[in-house]
Amino acid sequence: MKPYDVEVQRIKQVKHDRGLIEVHVDALVSPRAPRDDAGGSSCLSLPVEHARTLLILLRQQLAELDKLQPRSRRSGRA
């Protein structure tokens, strides 16, 4: 796997479709030199205000998905 640095410039849209949450963003993506400490993984960086916005939008999307579940599956009990 090739590691990348992904810098989120702007969050444009968050939606869910068929069990998949899609986040549309403007981002700067650049190749990353493998480092020993990162283990060859990619890095996502975003400003705190974008992270807060993303968290709010994800919570909204998950709440909408929960509404679509049958009542017996929403209770959290197995």
Read off the pLDDT of residues 3-37 as tens digits, 9 standing for 90 and up.
Answer: 889 999 998 988 888 778 888 999 999 988 766 66
Number of domains the chain contains:
1
pTM of the model: 0.61
pLDDT at position 35 is 67
Query: Range of 39's domain?
Result: 4-74
pLDDT at position 11 is 87
d(CA 11, CA 25): 5
Select the more confidently predicted residue: 78 or 37.
37
Q: What is the bridge-based pairing of β-strands 43-45 and 20-31?
A: unpaired
